[in-house]
Amino acid sequence: MTSSNPPAGRITRTHDQIITKNMAIVARNNIHLTHRNKGKTKVNNDEPLITVPPIPPVIFTNPNTTNTNTSLSSSSTSASTAMQPMVPPSTPSPTNMNINAMILALAKIHATIFSTTSSSSSTTTTSTSLSSSITTPVIPSITTPVIPSITVPTSNNVPILLFDINNECTSSTSISDTYGIHTYIVELARCHQHIPLSILTMKVMTCLFLEPSTLKFVTHYTSHCNSTPMKCHILNVSQFPTESSISIGEWHKAWACFLKLLTDYASPEIHDQWARYHKDLREHADFEEHWPAILAFDMAQ
């Protein structure tokens, strides 16, 4: 029998130690390649990789079989051999497969180093191959967001109001820029003429008060309820934009002026009736989408 002890002076390494040593050699060779790419001349030669010995297969033996009697006949030996279980073919374990993949990656890296002259892109390729061979994915941790709780301050089990009239300051100024109802509009109502919403807008009301010289009038004879006709001059409403051309904002402003006119010159019942009518229109669902239909209905009323 030959002795299994290694010869004197030879360093014996395990399989894992050889893999680790080869990785260190590849790292040093990468440093040498970087120095050569930078133009340095005194650079050590690349070190060769250590040959990785194959992993010995695992042999399954029958623990019930003993070799105490070495003088059995050949027939007894054949019978005992037939009774031993068959040795399954050795399959590489996941650890061996990872090691083999690492060895192949190291071999490719070694070949890339020696075949490259002075290209900086080879360093990037080498680092990428090494990283893709030995890097393990990192699973990010999932954190649950913390939702702060809102507590309402109370005093004697009564919620404390955020807005209290005692903490507010009374306003001493007014931002109202309305002129009120012009007498020309009152004359239209007194003569039982239709008052379109277009002359109750802020733009027309400003024109009535500030530019009276530019206005046009028509002669009208009143004959209401068989009364004696009376000659009067009333405002010509045709000089202003039509009622169908006003916008939503102008419509709201005109209705506010019309309700103010009813407050001053109509009975409370009439004012309440038209106020409820206006409330039903402005609170209609999808007011903006149905605006043309709402305006046409309002003009008809």
pLDDT tens digits, 71-108: 444 444 444 444 444 545 555 454 555 666 666 666 66
Amino acid sitting at position 48 = P
Q: Are residues 19 and 100 in the same domain?
A: yes
Q: Are residues 207 and 113 in the same domain?
A: no
Q: Are residues 18 and 113 in the same domain?
A: yes
pLDDT of 38 over the 90 cut? no
Instruction: Say how far residue 177 (Cα) sits from the centre of its chain.
Output: 45
Cα dihedral sign, 260-262-266-268: negative
Q: How large is the average pLDDT for residues 174-179?
A: 60
Q: Are residues 129 and 191 in the same domain?
A: no
Q: Which domain holds residue 188?
A: 183-300
Torsion angle in degrees (nearest 10) through CA of 122, 127, 133, 139: -140
Task: Tell me if 170 is assigned to some domain.
Answer: no
Task: Tell me if 130 is assigned to some domain.
Answer: yes
CA distance 133 to 114: 20
Half-sphere exposure of 150 (CA within 13 A, CB side): 1
Q: How many domains does the chain have?
A: 2
CA distance 282 to 294: 9
Task: Tell me if 126 is assigned to some domain.
Answer: yes
Task: Tell me if 176 is assigned to some domain.
Answer: no
> H/E element holding 132?
helix 120-134
> H/E element holding 159?
strand 158-159
Q: How large is the average pLDDT for residues 182-208?
A: 90
Other CB atoms within 10 A of residue 300 CB? 6
- pLDDT (0 to 100) of residue 143: 75
Task: Tell me if 70 is assigned to some domain.
Answer: no
Out of 106-110, 219-223, 256-260, 269-273, which region has the weakest mean confidence (pLDDT)?
106-110
Q: Are residues 210 and 101 in the same domain?
A: no
Task: Tell me if 23 is assigned to some domain.
Answer: yes
Nearest Cα residue to 205 out of 183, 190, 220: 183
Instruction: Give the model's confidence band at 199: pLDDT under 50 very low, under 70 low, under 90 confident, else very high.
Output: very high
